[in-house]
Amino acid sequence: MKLMIHQTHHQTSDFKGVLKSLVNLFNQKNLENKEPEPTLHLFPENFLTGYPLKDLCLQKSFIDSYMKLIDDLNNLSLSYFDQRPEDVKGHSLLIGGLDYNFDKQGLPTQIKNVIFELTPGEKLKSVYTKRLLPNYDIYDERKYFAPGNELKIWNFQGKNILLLICEDMWPSHFYKVDPIQEAYELCKKENLSLDLVINLSASPFHLNKLEKRVIRAQEISKQLNAPMAYCNRVGGEDEILFDGGSFITDHHKILCQGKVFEKDCLVIDLDKSETKTPTTSQEKIDPPLSSKEKVNTWEWFFDPQLDKTATPTKLNGLSDEDCKVILQALKFGIQEYSEKCGLNNFIVALSGGIDSALVLTLMKLFLKEGQKVEALYMPGFYSANLSWELSSELCKNLDIPLYQLPIKFIHSTVRNSFRESFQSELEGLADENIQSRLRGSFLYARSNQTNAMVLNTSNKSELAVGYSTLYGDSVGAISPLGDIYKSEVFTIARYINKQYKDIIPEKIISRPPTAELREGQEDSQSLPPYERLDAILEGLLSYRMSPNELVNLGHDSKEVSKVFHLYQKSEFKRFQFCPIIKLKAKSFGFGYRIPLSHKRVE
Amino acid sequence: MKLMIHQTHHQTSDFKGVLKSLVNLFNQKNLENKEPEPTLHLFPENFLTGYPLKDLCLQKSFIDSYMKLIDDLNNLSLSYFDQRPEDVKGHSLLIGGLDYNFDKQGLPTQIKNVIFELTPGEKLKSVYTKRLLPNYDIYDERKYFAPGNELKIWNFQGKNILLLICEDMWPSHFYKVDPIQEAYELCKKENLSLDLVINLSASPFHLNKLEKRVIRAQEISKQLNAPMAYCNRVGGEDEILFDGGSFITDHHKILCQGKVFEKDCLVIDLDKSETKTPTTSQEKIDPPLSSKEKVNTWEWFFDPQLDKTATPTKLNGLSDEDCKVILQALKFGIQEYSEKCGLNNFIVALSGGIDSALVLTLMKLFLKEGQKVEALYMPGFYSANLSWELSSELCKNLDIPLYQLPIKFIHSTVRNSFRESFQSELEGLADENIQSRLRGSFLYARSNQTNAMVLNTSNKSELAVGYSTLYGDSVGAISPLGDIYKSEVFTIARYINKQYKDIIPEKIISRPPTAELREGQEDSQSLPPYERLDAILEGLLSYRMSPNELVNLGHDSKEVSKVFHLYQKSEFKRFQFCPIIKLKAKSFGFGYRIPLSHKRVE
């Protein structure tokens, strides 16, 4: 039996694209094999529709187009079999999709996240419904889908194949059932041996996720004594990336693995001896861990990157490998988003600081043929000459056009207008923020002129403490650094400089961070040093620690209290922020939901 | 038996306030009654914590403070009974709160939304867990809470009392169980008669919701042949308002009803004859409707306001009563939000058009003692003199200070700067948007100067088609009109003019809408007339209709197609929009979740 894992890359609701790819498959040489070999084709979870759909799956226009796709696929299957029965014999497809129930008025009453079997000559047939519907963090599956309640051991060419969809392999305290444990018990009871475990997934990327998936699959393969095939999709859905990396593992042996952030197709013949499972006797199977023994706390899910042995706790640094993966992910995320928005120009506002310098450098590294990026430097009264010099040097290194649009004169004009209109001076916070907002406005005016996508330059630390001006430096279409702490920004910059011969001027990395909105301003005047700030923030955000706990872990109580206060009062800025490319297990964005206004907790 | 419904009004996570109110209750004269009368006190769902909490209920700082409250309440109960056993005898409290399970590390593994019994002399005791956890639209309860699985008939002073929490009274296709039907069957089977049905709620407001609750309660009271007491909270949680309006109904007879959008306390003696249920024999009980017979489609939930008998369909107009309720709701919503933000000044940018005029007028009507509102008019090259005249007239009528800050000179300066920096003219969309963004920046500079809350002036129609400039006229801390279609804006303006002697100049209402961003611009050049636009939008949003369906209902296909296209491509503007006060069953905001980028569906 041949297995083909189709690691696909389609936009959400790209029904025409999905149909075309299946037509192509049916037309392929491998379906015209003169001596047909039984082949099982796997496609990811929700391949037919895309994922996550959110409310889209409830809209009639979406549903109508989807139902048309289903009809087209049924016709395709019937007609190919009619025309070339011998060519398609022995082939079968397992495809992730949605199964709708409607009321009399045609409104959806129930949607199931299912695996369809598509055997040439037959219509699509739902063979399995996803049982564990994740509903924590970025997941809202209980909002849209009804869970299945039956284990499915599906038969193909005499083989016993356990079917799973994504979360089904991750039983936890959220769920009452454990499909893996159930399968283990069923096999034992009925003296059944499994030939294959299949998991069709749409599994979002974050750092270390790929390893986590493989380890878990190896565990399951060992427990159920059968190879496990994991088929994941590729795609960027606003904040959330799907990284592919599909694989087949037999116990601990990885038989093959797909590319990351790229479509791919894995082919393997499972009947060849090298792919046989090493242990076949029941005695050698380790009893599976029951879900209750697993660590299923928020800590396990959100993988806080804290060194708790240090006093005070320290943020775990990014390794070179982490940096490499982050760059891959950001490139993919930005390219996906800009493609869907139909934009090939990019623009970044440079301040002379590290965040904007890194974003610009990354964008240059990410450019595809036909794409352009430009930089805009908008000096004001408090901008140091050094900021201009460093921005020029950076753009020269990167070979990127740099425009200068001074805001001093306009700023003066606005000050005068305020004096005239309100008989009051523009000063303090009002005078600081107006500079940032003028810059935001001009950046967008330029983006309107050149049809360019504005890349936001805020980092996770700033976002967490609200160290930015709403509608000012917080503007942008998408945020590449919004899931990267300031101390990690430095690490990534140094990583890039190692790879690309100090392309970012060293001085940009080493000068003290400042917003340059008033005379002599430095971040360190209002914030703790970034390494301490970031350790506190990771505790608050990923561990959901209380200030007390942080103090017990050795942090200064005044510092913790200040950070917690800034964090609580800046929710309104995060509320109006652009999509953040998700890189970590716990991020701001869709999976982070805090009331804007509530009585502050100490 | 006396029943007291405490329709409370606390901020979310205001643990000190909650404790204080219960201490006050224990100190009240009614607990010192010399001839103690058995009294049952009802408090709303999640009274102890507030609602909705979102991720707040997972944060350690929140949990620690909440656990301290539980301890304090237990001590209160024990100490009062120790000190004055006779005073508190016969009293009992039913209180909505959360019941946590923790793992060994103290991280929450399960949270239940429960009713606590608090009987003086005893500790808090969880007596019922909410069974139907809503998870559609604005609701995410399955994300945080584990459902209960048992009906509870609770005994107080020999009375049989059915306990329900909020959604438990709304069985639908979302749920496998129907607590009302179960209660009916249990009573029949065990020949049990109920004395009272209690529902502790945190039920969000929307138009007609109050009536819907009462009708449903009457139905239940009749079905279960017992009076039903409905206790709702009061509060504004960002977008979502809780309107109170608690009541007791006995079959169809409403015995008492609380105020709306105000805390209140209802007291009733259920033993007095007038409150006895009119039918006592089993024969007279109508069989309950099973949940399957109920209309439980999106249509039923989202109550689309369309006259489908008209060709093309028409948006149902707002009645005077609707307008009155909307004004109450908006006043409450804005005041709640500003109080939590600690702001007593408000600012509105006037354009001379109806939206900003209405927002300013509303804010004037909503002002409390010590609060101020000011208006800012920022004319540009394309602003008509009439716009200034009408803005002046309005502010004179309202007795509100109006400031003028012309943007012409600054706009010219920006045009020159762009010519100089980029050797290219600021024109077309870039030149239109910069005006709007300069205004947004100046509005916020003024708000920084005066510590004022900026009220957004966008309406639901504009939001739906993206007819606004991001970071320009779309700015604001909160949106009063974001759930009101443009044609409804006119209706509300005329309603106000009826109540307040044409306080809004007629010409503001009757002049053709325009953004005044280029010469001779009028909304009607780019959009269908608002009455048709709004009917199409309500079809798209509340019915989730497809363009095809709208055309079948008599709408012009080009118009529908244009509106659908504008709607689909403006998701990114809604993504970065401020909180919208929710007034309708289906609104933009937290309950509306659409991917930003996906393959457009026709």
Tokens of residue A601, six digits: 């907790």
- Whether A12 and A147 share a structural domain: yes
> How far apart are alpha carbons B438 and B414 in whole angstroms?
10
Tokens of residue A437, six digits: 């907002």
Q: Which of B130, B460, B573, B584 is catalytic?
A: B130
- Whether A41 and A92 share a structural domain: yes
- Whether A403 and A457 share a structural domain: yes
Kindly report the CATH number assigned to the domain that includes residue B332: 3.40.50.620
Query: Hey, are the CB atoms on A440 and B438 less than 8 Å from each other?
Result: no
> How far apart are alpha carbons B514 and B354 in whole angstroms?
10
Kindly report the CATH number assigned to the domain that includes residue A269: 3.60.110.10
- Please indicate, yes or no, if residue B313 is contained in any of the structural domains: no
Q: What is the pLDDT of residue A174?
A: 86
Q: What is the pLDDT of residue A277?
A: 46
Q: What is the pLDDT of residue A286?
A: 52
Q: In whole angstroms, how far apart are CA B403 and each of A43, A422, B348, B400?
A: 62, 7, 11, 10
- Please indicate, yes or no, if residue A144 is contained in any of the structural domains: yes
From the candidates B576, B577, B578, which should be mutated to test the interface with A, based on the most A CB atoms within 10 A? B576
- Domain finish residue from B473, B497, B527: B527
The predicted-structure confidence for A59-109, as pLDDT tens digits, reads as follows 999 999 999 999 999 999 998 777 777 767 788 999 999 999 998 878 888
Is omega for the bond preceding B528 within 30 degrees of 0, making it cis? Answer: no
Q: What is the pLDDT of residue B35?
A: 57
Q: Is the pLDDT of residue B231 over 50?
A: yes
- Structural domain harbouring A363: 319-523+571-575
> How far apart are alpha carbons A538 and A259 in whole angstroms?
31
Residue showing tokens 């969000």:
B204
The predicted-structure confidence for A515-533, as pLDDT tens digits, reads as follows 899 998 888 888 999 999 9
- Whether B216 and B101 share a structural domain: yes
Reported as type and span, the H/E element at residue B391 is helix B385-398
pTM, two decimal places: 0.95
Q: Is B188 a catalytic residue?
A: no
Longest dimension (CA), chain A: 89
**Nearest alpha-carbon partner for B394 in B362, B365, B357, B348:** B357
- Please indicate, yes or no, if residue B363 is contained in any of the structural domains: yes
Of A597 and B146, more confident: B146
- Whether B216 and B150 share a structural domain: yes
Q: What is the pLDDT of residue B291?
A: 45
Tokens of residue A350, six digits: 């440079």
**Nearest alpha-carbon partner for A535 in A317, A285, A383:** A317
Q: State how many domains chain A has.
A: 2
Q: What is the pLDDT of residue A274?
A: 55
Q: Is A166 a catalytic residue?
A: yes
The predicted-structure confidence for A233-268, as pLDDT tens digits, reads as follows 999 999 999 999 999 999 999 999 999 999 999 999
- Whether A107 and A178 share a structural domain: yes
The predicted-structure confidence for B265-305, as pLDDT tens digits, reads as follows 999 998 874 544 444 444 344 545 544 455 456 667 788 89
- Please indicate, yes or no, if residue B388 is contained in any of the structural domains: yes
Q: 3-state DSSP call for residue A532?
A: helix
Q: Is the pLDDT of residue A272 over 90?
A: no
* Section A429-437 average pLDDT: 97
Q: What is the pLDDT of residue B126?
A: 98
Reported as type and span, the H/E element at residue B91 is strand B91-102
Reported as type and span, the H/E element at residue B129 is strand B125-129
Write out chain B residues lying below 8 Å of A548, CB-based: 61, 64
Select from B60, B109, B598 the Cβ nearest to the Cβ of A56: B598
Asked whether the CA dihedral B248, B249, B255, B256 is positive or negative, the reply is positive
Residue showing tokens 């948007």:
B433
A115-119, A362-366, B102-106: range with lowest mean pLDDT: B102-106
CA B327 to chain CA mean position, Å: 13
The predicted-structure confidence for A335-351, as pLDDT tens digits, reads as follows 999 999 999 999 999 99
Reported as type and span, the H/E element at residue A219 is helix A209-224
- Domain finish residue from B248, B271, B287: B287
- Whether A275 and A325 share a structural domain: no
DSSP state of B41: E
10 Å CB burial of residue B454 (0-12, 13-18, 19+) is buried
Q: 3-state DSSP call for residue A481?
A: coil
- The partner residues of A264 in beta bridges, in order of sequence, read A7
- Whether B259 and B364 share a structural domain: no
What is the phi/psi pair of residue B455, to 5°? -90, 125
Select from A298, A413, A428 the Cβ nearest to the Cβ of B107: A298
From the candidates A60, A136, A404, which should be mutated to test the interface with B, based on the most B CB atoms within 10 A? A60
Average pLDDT, chain B: 92
Of A174 and B505, more confident: B505
Q: What letter represents residue A285's amino acid?
A: I
Q: How confident is the model at residue A29 (pLDDT cuts 50, 70, 90)?
A: low
- Whether B214 and B277 share a structural domain: yes
- Whether B277 and B176 share a structural domain: yes
The predicted-structure confidence for B149-171, as pLDDT tens digits, reads as follows 999 999 999 999 999 999 999 99
- Whether B278 and B327 share a structural domain: no
- Domain finish residue from A225, A250, A279: A279
Q: Is A185 a catalytic residue?
A: no
- Please indicate, yes or no, if residue B565 is contained in any of the structural domains: no
From A444's Cα to the closest Cα of chain B, the distance in A is: 8
- Please indicate, yes or no, if residue B581 is contained in any of the structural domains: no
Tokens of residue B513, six digits: 């809408």
Please give the order of strands across the beta sheet that includes B247-250.
B153-156, B159-165, B196-201, B228-232, B247-250, B253-257
Q: What is the pLDDT of residue B525?
A: 87
* Section B4-8 average pLDDT: 97
- Whether A353 and A453 share a structural domain: yes
